[in-house]
Amino acid sequence: MIPASCLTVRENASPLKKVLHIIFTLYGMHEGITARELNMEKFRKHLNDFENGIMPNQTQKEQEQQKTETKEFGWLSPTGVFTESPFGTHEESAEQICERKGFTDEYWKWVKESGDNEIGHLMRDFLSEVKGYCLIHNPSGYAGYIVTNMKALTKHQKDFLYNYFMDMGDRFKAEQFVE
């Protein structure tokens, strides 16, 4: 049961103030907190910081989120040419790249030399392991981008990836590709 003294708060007070009043009164802190004077110097400093973006407000966060760009997943050639490949279509896109670039015969030769079949060595494996392509993807399908490469990235690939992630506002990820 809440004592009657806890319930004496202005009727037009906000629900939060009413709850805080009850809590502070129950713990004997109400008088001590309300009797304190506001340090105007600290208040002005914090308000100034807030207004200057040091402590960004919700509207500012939403505007920044709207500025960030999302990009399609895909294959990146050693020369820095990007081929879009929506989520779940990486093998299909690898086949199209191999056909378009004339890699199909070389792929089958690679499979035969590996002593395996196309089930063990897919065209996406060929692009990564033999041709030096890297894949920008995310197996989970949400929340982020993963760069998978089997060979060392070329300067063209690093430059592309740096710009790709900077365009999306992901400076941390972009800087992983700076030499």
Beta strands (DSSP E) in the chain are 74-76, 82-84, 134-137, 146-149
Q: Give the dihedral sign, CA 36/42/48/49.
A: negative
Decide if pLDDT at 171 tops 80. yes
pTM to 2 decimal places: 0.61
- DSSP assignment string, 94-107: HHHHHHHHT-HHHH
Residue 40: pLDDT band with limits 50, 70, 90: confident
Query: What is the percentage of the chain residues whose pLDDT exceeds 70?
Result: 68
Note the pLDDT of residue 1: 46
> What average pLDDT does this structure show over 6-29?
64
Give the start-to-end residue ranges of the domains of the chain.
Answer: 4-66, 74-177
- 30 within 8 A of 21, measured Cβ to Cβ: yes
CA dist 35 and 42 (Å) reads 17
Question: 80: Cβ–Cβ under 8 A, 6 or more apart, which residues?
Answer: 154, 156, 157, 159, 160
Q: How does pLDDT run across 106-157, given as a tens digit for each residue?
A: 999 999 888 765 567 899 999 999 999 999 998 776 668 999 999 999 999 9
